[in-house]
A = this chain, B = another copy of it.
Amino acid sequence: MNAEIIAVGSELLLGQIANTNAKFISTQLSELGINVFYHTVVGDNGDRLKRAIEIAESRADLIIFSGGLGPTKDDLTKETIANHLGLPLVFDDVALSYIEQFFAQWGRTMTENNRKQALILEGSEVLANHHGMAPGMLLEKDGRIYILLPGPPKEIEPMFQFEAKPKLAARLNEGGIILSHVLRFYGIGEAELEVQVQDILDNQTNPTVAPLAGDGEVTLRITAKAATEEEAWPLIRAKEAEILAIVGEYHYGNNDDSLASKIVEMLLHHNLTIAAAESLTAGLFQSELAEIPGVSGTLVGGMVTYTEQAKVQQLGIEQSLLDQYGVVSSECAAAMALKVREKFGTDIGVGLTGAAGPEPHGDQPAGTIWIGFSIGNSEPITRKLQLLGMRNSNRIRAVKLAYSYLMRLLVEKGYEKI
Contacts and interface: CB of A to CB of B under 8 A. Distances in A.
Interface of chain A: mostly helix, strand, loop or mixed: mixed
Interface string A323-338: 0000000000000000
A214 B20 CA distance: 12
Contacts of A282: 283, 286-287, 289-290, 295, 299, 301
A43 interface: yes
A205 interface: no
Interface in A229-281: 276, 278, 280-281
Contact of A131 (B20, B39, B281, B388): B388
Nearest to A12: B39
A393 B358 CA distance: 29
Nearest to A3: B13
Contact of A191 (B19, B72, B74, B276): B72
Nearest to A277: B301
Nearest to A301: B310
Interface stretch (A80-88, A108-116, A140-148, A410-418): A108-116
Interface of A: 9-20, 22-30, 36-45, 48, 51-52, 55, 59, 70-74, 108-109, 111, 113-114, 131, 152, 154, 180, 182, 189-192, 194-195, 201, 210-214, 219, 221, 276, 278, 280-287, 289-291, 293, 295-296, 299-307, 309-310, 313-314, 343-345, 356-359, 388-393, 395
